[in-house]
Amino acid sequence: MGKVLVTRVNMRSRMMRFAYEVRTSDSVKLVLEGTIFWQIKNLSLTVAATADPEGDVWHHARSSLIQAVSKVTLQTFMSGVNGTVMEAFGTQAADSFYAVRGVELQSMEVTKFDCADPETAVILQAIIQESTNKINKLTVQASENEVAAAALAAEIQLAKQKTELIETEAENLRIQSMKQGEADGLQLAGDANAFIAGLDQTIPDVATRIDLYTLRHQLRSRNTDTHNLASGTAHLFVAPDDLSLKLNVGSGQAGDGTAEL
């Protein structure tokens, strides 16, 4: 058989599909399917080291993946397929297998896995379905929790705003009352000053003028109270003190008494 003359070599990245049979640490046989991307980096080394670089890549990747899967149980593998694959990829990157052949392993990915045993496959499907249901339930619960948290945050914010409104209204009412009180006080002070100052010629004694103003103020208040009571349906009872009633009983006459208003 004659020799084949090679004039061109494809130096671009290449994709290779694989289907490896592996076994987990708990003796579950799996079939892994996926892809490998590799590339010739040094053609001289490749030609000198191997006549089948693609076959070398295929077999070395298979050996690394078998070793990585054999260290974990089925449950661990299912919960972290990518982690197991990355461990196998890292193991290959650390050795010199590809370097001496002038090739580079760029990536390795498992796209599908099944149980080699049909009975185990049924159990695996049940486990996958249960895991999927669990993830869906957790997702729904997380969504409900987020909605509840958002509603609670909105209620808290609304309560804070109501509190701020009440505090603002109370502060405004306090300021209005204070201003009204100041105005009433100024008016009362002006009235008192006008009354007391107006009697300075008639009643020179300041204390007497103040007493008169106090009496005037008390009588005005009583008149207001009496008017308010008389305007309603309440019964008005006036005590003797309110009428300034005085009773004088004569001591020299038996049985006689006089009453003086």
Instruction: Identify the DSSP state of 252.
Output: S
Residue indicated by tokens 């006549």: 51
pLDDT of 256 strictly over 60 = no
Please provide the DSSP assignment of 208-219 as one string: HHHHHHHHHHHH
Query: 30 versus 126: which is more confidently predicted?
Result: 30
Are residues 19 and 33 in contact, defined by beta-carbon separation less than 8 angstroms?
yes
Could you give the CA distance from residue 200 to residue 202 in angstroms, rounded to a whole number? 6
- Convert the pLDDT of each residue in 144-182 to its tens digit: 888 888 888 888 988 999 999 999 989 898 888 888 888
Q: How confident is the model at residue 4 (pLDDT cuts 50, 70, 90)?
A: low
Whole-number pLDDT of residue 82: 85
Could you give the CA distance from residue 238 to residue 247 in angstroms, rounded to a whole number? 16
Query: 223 versus 148: which is more confidently predicted?
Result: 148
Could you give the CA distance from residue 120 to residue 30 in angstroms, rounded to a whole number? 10
- Convert the pLDDT of each residue in 7-66 to its tens digit: 677 788 999 999 999 988 988 888 999 999 999 999 889 889 998 999 999 999 999 999
Whole-number pLDDT of residue 62: 92
pLDDT of 255 strictly over 50 = no
pTM for this predicted structure: 0.47
Give 108's strand partners: 36
pLDDT of 136 strictly over 50 = yes
Query: Within the chain, what is the greatest distance between any pair of CA atoms?
Result: 172
Whose CA is closest to 63, among 36, 99, 101? Answer: 36
Q: What are phi and psi of 246, to 5 degrees?
A: -125, 135
Are residues 52 and 36 in contact, defined by beta-carbon separation less than 8 angstroms?
no
Cβ burial 88-109 (10 Å sphere, 16+ → b, else e) = bbeebeeeebbeebbbbbeebe
Q: Which two tokens stand for residue 247?
A: 């009773």
Are residues 45 and 100 in contact, defined by beta-carbon separation less than 8 angstroms?
yes
Least confident of 104-118, 194-208, 245-259: 245-259
- Torsion, Cα of 187, 191, 194, 197 (10° steps): -110
- Convert the pLDDT of each residue in 239-254 to its tens digit: 655 555 555 555 444 4
What average pLDDT is seen over the chain? 80
Could you give the CA distance from residue 238 to residue 256 in angstroms, rounded to a whole number? 26
Whole-number pLDDT of residue 54: 92
Are residues 249 and 257 in contact, defined by beta-carbon separation less than 8 angstroms?
yes
CA distances from 44 to 8, 95, 102, 143 (A): 13, 20, 7, 58
Instruction: Identify the DSSP state of 112.
Output: E
Could you give the CA distance from residue 84 to residue 228 in angstroms, rounded to a whole number? 94
